[in-house]
Amino acid sequence: MSEGAGTGAVRHDAGGMPHHHRVAIAFFLLALLGPVLGVLFGKPADLYPRMASGWFSVPMAVFGVCALFLPLRNPKDFFGGALLVGLGLFAMWASSDLPGMRGFAFGPGTAPRLFAWGLIILGVAVTVVGLFTDGPPEEPYAFSGPLGGAVLIVALIPITYYSNRIGHIVKGVPPDIIVAFVGAVVVLLLAFLLQRIAPRGPLFITAATLIFAVTVRPLGLVFASFVSLMVSGYATHEIRWIEMTIWAVVLTIFCAVLFPYGLNLPLQLWPRF
């Protein structure tokens, strides 16, 4: 999906494909996600029920059809509604294992499904409004910003999952420090790679927080704060390196004094070795 879809007019992206085709393809891929995941990770033995267990994402294809045949006059509402429906469907899938009504008493699954249904209905309503009224065009970075940040977060999942193996690559160094180091480097490299397609702001704000999260435990508050401050400074084009370094040092000292001593929070300041 590209940025800034014009209202009504057919736009062409760099690849020569009309904009609405790309949008439609994205929605069709999203619709297939459930069945494909169902086949790959599903519990039932046979192929067909496994595929069917992932039906929750299939309704998203409707948005693809809409994007193909109807002009997106109000893209903000169209995509906004589509995401709400997506969230609702996701919640339906996530709560599908919970028991519902028992006689006249609510089960654990009743309320989540009630809210999810509401979200789907409203999502459709917002989309319909988006299809039949004129609205402002999509704002820049509306997609690439959150997506870029999301990639960074998702990249941490395999690192956490395989942390046992990663931690023992180098002998003699505590495993949690290696995992923290690998996580921070991967996030930072990805952020630099992605900054060609995603805006710096969301990308490096997310990166700074993630680096803080992975390093604060094994490496201590001082190191984690300083590194994430420097990374966060890169989130704006106005960065001045010398000023930022001095400021990061000042803030790190301030935090290292305020939180553990001033507020008596049990935070570890230095690495554990």
Nearer to other proteins (CB atom), residue 29 or residue 83 = 83
Q: Say how far apart CA 61 and CA 138 lie, in whole Å.
A: 21
Three-state DSSP at 41 gives helix
Q: How far is the CB of 16 from other proteins (least distance, A)?
A: 27
Nearer to other proteins (CB atom), residue 64 or residue 81 = 81
Q: How far is the CB of 197 from other proteins (least distance, A)?
A: 15
Nearer to other proteins (CB atom), residue 64 or residue 149 = 149
Q: How far is the CB of 165 from other proteins (least distance, A)?
A: 20
Listed in sequence order, the DSSP H helices in the chain are 19-41, 47-52, 61-69, 75-94, 110-132, 144-161, 163-166, 175-194, 200-233, 241-257
Q: Which residue has the tokens 């007019």?
A: 9
Q: How far is the CB of 112 from other proteins (least distance, A)?
A: 4
Q: Say how far apart CA 260 and CA 255 lie, in whole Å.
A: 8
- Distance from CA of residue 60 to its chain's centroid? 18
User: Which residues are 18's β-sheet partners?
Assistant: 12
Nearer to other proteins (CB atom), residue 59 or residue 109 = 109
Nearer to other proteins (CB atom), residue 12 or residue 102 = 102
Q: Are 163 and 174 in contact (CB under 8 A)?
A: no
Q: Which residue has the tokens 């996030």?
A: 187
Q: How far is the CB of 15 from other proteins (least distance, A)?
A: 24
Q: How far is the CB of 248 from other proteins (least distance, A)?
A: 7
Three-state DSSP at 105 gives strand
Nearer to other proteins (CB atom), residue 44 or residue 136 = 136
Cα three-residue angle 205-226-182, rounded to 5 degrees: 75
Q: Say how far apart CA 85 and CA 127 lie, in whole Å.
A: 9
Nearer to other proteins (CB atom), residue 105 or residue 171 = 105
Q: How far is the CB of 252 from other proteins (least distance, A)?
A: 8
